[in-house]
Amino acid sequence: MNNRTRYIKKMDTNESKHDRKSELKAFDDTKSGVKGLVDAGVSKVPQIFISPPDTYSNSNTGQFIFPVIDLQDMDSHDQINRKKVIEKVRDASETWGFFQVINHGVPCDVMEEMIRGVCSFHEQDTDIKKQWYTRELTKRVVYNSNFDLYNAPATNWRDTFFCIMAPNPPSPEELPPICRDIIVKYSEEVKKLGRSLFELLAEALGLNRNYLNEMDCGEGLSVVCHYYPACPEPELTLGASKHADDGFLTLLLQDHIGGLQVLHRNHWVDVPPTPGALVVNIADLLQLISNDKFKSVEHRVLANRVGPRISIACFFSTFFLEASRLYGPIKELLSEENPSKYRETTIQEYAAYFTAKGLDGTSALQHFRL
């Protein structure tokens, strides 16, 4: 019996559920994540990590061309160039939900230092790192493995730490010393780029340039720093299960290893690691307020025999604030032919639903559909 058959057999019995739960607890109690297993020399992927088989095929290389948008001179008064960029942003947001940006203004050395800083956080002495290990999402700095460990059907081959950097960033002393300065610096750059992207996205929706920023879409920023260790049996597990992102928008910095794939026309398409580029994707709340004009598209990360792979996902969302503001489809976008497809919700309600569900392969957005 191979591991996948084992997975399917086991999922059906109550006994296996109990087994799984205690295995998860034992893994959680180590407080050293997947990296801890790899350091201890595991040569087989433990049962809890085995993912069910996937039904989509990988696209042949070159079948689809992943969109790249050059943001050079975006702040100049060259309106013709700006219009062209807005057109590309609209097209990519409607069809892919994803694009890469180049010449975006975030200095290359800051990006490289951020990747190094995140790597050094995960590779520092385990006893030091453990002090941040928690499942309490009210903490300003959270390190753990699999935010949805006890809810998701399969555990992912990755560890993560995150900090909430806007609004009200933590004082520098609260951040891990090993990467403190670069996190602050990188977050400042991302906030700036976020504002410009929300301007472009607003115009791409046919709205006033400041519309999305005035709705506070760029107000909250969490910086989520992933570490995907090398994996001895990458075909049995995933770095990240298929999911769409919560929040409004995600800006991702990935290193050179690769593994991120986007579901496009029922094919898994690789997001090619591109030096100097950042990956932008529409997240669920932007799909909701745009009434499905922009798409929050599912993606996943493959495990890899080679590693570690480092990526930093910056989520624009204020899920961590107590706020009662309601978000629903933007009135200016609605008409008799295009009636509202979603009920209004708060970011907190949305995020709580997303987190409780975990990365189980289904869309959280459906729950809010009228």
Short-list 119, 141, 100, CA closest to 312 = 119
- Nearest to ligand OGA of 182, 238 (CB atom): 238
Cβ of residue 207: shortest distance to ligand OGA, in angstroms? 26
Q: Is 254 in the site for ligand OGA (CB under 6 A)?
A: yes
- Nearest to ligand OGA of 20, 300 (CB atom): 300
Stretch touching ligand OGA by CB under 6 A, among 5-13, 61-69, 71-79, 252-260: 252-260
Cβ of residue 259: shortest distance to ligand OGA, in angstroms? 7
Q: Is 224 in the site for ligand OGA (CB under 6 A)?
A: yes
Q: Is 219 in the site for Ni ion (CB under 5 A)?
A: no
Please, which residues have CB within 8 angstroms of residue 115's CB and are 6 or more apart in sequence? 253, 255, 310, 312
Residue with nearest beta carbon to Ni ion: 245
Q: Is 164 in the site for ligand OGA (CB under 6 A)?
A: no
One of 191, 226, 242, 295 touching ligand OGA (CB under 6 A): 226
| Residues 220 to 259 in contact with Ni ion, rule: CB under 5 A | 245
- Nearest to ligand OGA of 85, 262 (CB atom): 262
Task: Measure the CA–CA gap between 283 and 304, rounded to whole angstroms.
Answer: 26
Cβ of residue 313: shortest distance to ligand OGA, in angstroms? 4
Cα angle value 139/143/148 (rounded, 5°):
90
Short-list 223, 156, 213, CA closest to 188 = 223
Amino acid at 84: K
Cβ of residue 299: shortest distance to Ni ion, in angstroms? 6
Q: Is 277 in the site for ligand OGA (CB under 6 A)?
A: no
HSE (side-chain half, CA atoms, 13 Å) at 147: 21
- Nearest to ligand OGA of 137, 333 (CB atom): 137
Cβ of residue 285: shortest distance to ligand OGA, in angstroms? 14
Q: Is 156 in the site for ligand OGA (CB under 6 A)?
A: no
What end-to-end distance do the CA atoms of the chain give, in Å? Answer: 44
One of 311, 314, 329, 330 touching ligand OGA (CB under 6 A): 311
Binding site for ligand OGA (CB under 6 A): 224, 226, 240, 245, 252, 254, 260, 299, 301, 311, 313
Applying CB under 5 A, the residues found at the interface with Ni ion are: 245
